Homo-oligomer: A and B are copies of this chain.
C-alpha cells in the first residue's frame, strides 16, 4: 500500500434535490437541482469545475448513457466526466474516484453528482433490473435481505419490535428534514401492524421508491480554503466487492455483510482509525431495511456482532444519543434512488461536520462516515469525513 489520502481533499460544497415522487422533474432536472445547489453552497461558478463523476445505476433515458448524462443537463461540455456504477454503492464510489484524482494532484476542483429516477418506468433501465436471469423474479431486494434478517433474528433472539424502533427513529429524524421523501413520524405500533412485504419486513421496515439527486464539490485541501473556510476533509475511503451471489456462498453466515466489513477496514486504515466505536461520532448508514441498519452497526464496528440491538433499544443511535445514526432520516425517509443515495449521505455528513444541520444537528460532530451496502449485499463502500481542524 502507498501513502494515505488523509486530509488531502475537502468537501467544499453540498447540494441535494428534493427527494420524492418527482413526477414534475426529469432526470436532467434533478441533476441540475442538485448540482446548482452544490455550486451555490461552494460559492463558485460552474467553470471552476475541472472534472466530474456521475454516479448512476440507470442513466438518464433522454440522451443516453456515459458522461453525457451529466454534460447535457449542466451544459458542461468539453470536460472529463466519468460514469461510475457499483450497485447501491454507486454514489459513494463516484465520490471515491474523485478523491483519488484530486489526491493525485490532477485536478483542483471536481464535481460529483448522483442521480436516479426510480418512479419512471422506461422500456429500458431499472424496470428490467428486477428480473434476475437465474434466480427469477422472486429475488427482490426485500426477499433477499429478509433471508438474512430471519437468520439474524433467530441467532441473536432479536424481535420485530427492535427492527421497528429503527423505523421510528429514522422517520422521526426525517420528519425534521424538508428534503426527505417521507416527512412523517411513525409509532412502533404502526410499524408492527403494517402489511408484510417479506417477513420480517412490513411496509415500514422498507425504504420507499423515490426519485432524487445529490451533488458535492470537492477540492484539493491546498485550494479549499480559498473557496470556503471550515470545509470538512476526506479522511479515508474504502470499497469492497464480494460475489454477486453472496446468498449462494456456503461460507455466508446470513448475519451481516463482509463487503461492509472490508470497506470499513480499508477506510479506517486510511483515516488512522483504530476504534471506530469511539472515534466515529455519527454516521449515515445504508438502512434499505430496518434490519440492515442494525447489522451495519456491527459490520462498521460500532459494537460487537449480535449487539447492534443495544444501540437502537437504548436510544444510543437516536439524534440525542451518543452515536447518532442516520440523522438525515436515512433511506427510510429519503428512499433509495440508487446513484443519488451515497452522494446525499456524504452531503449530510459534511453538513453535520460544519454544524449547519439545524434541528437535526448532532451534538458531537468531529468525525463521521457515509456507508452504502448494495446489490445482494455484494458491494460495500465507506467514506470517512472529519471536521476542518
Contact = CB atoms under 8 A, between A and B. Distances in A.
A143 interface: no
A322 interface: no
Contact of A241 (B5, B81, B124, B129): B81
> Which residue of A1, A84, A245 has the most chain B CB atoms within 10 A of its CB atom?
A84
Contacts of A101: 100, 104
Interface in A206-263: 220, 238-245, 258-259, 262-263
B50 A1 contact: yes
Contacts of A70: 241
Contacts of A85: 65-66, 83-85
Given A66-B375, A86-B66, A100-B100, A80 B241 contact: yes
Contact of A240 (B80, B87, B93, B123): B80
Number of copies: 2
A120 B105 CA distance: 41
Given A100-B100, A244-B71, A379-B68, A106 B239 contact: no
A82 B66 contact: no
Interface string A1-20: 11111001000000000000
A105 B61 contact: no
Given A68-B375, A85-B66, A375-B64, A3 B244 contact: no
Given A71-B242, A244-B63, A93 B82 contact: yes
Contact size class for A?
35 or more
A115 to B, nearest CB: 15
B83 A243 contact: no
A319 to B, nearest CB: 32
Nearest to A239: B80
Interface in A82-127: 82-87, 89-90, 93, 96-97, 100-108, 122-124
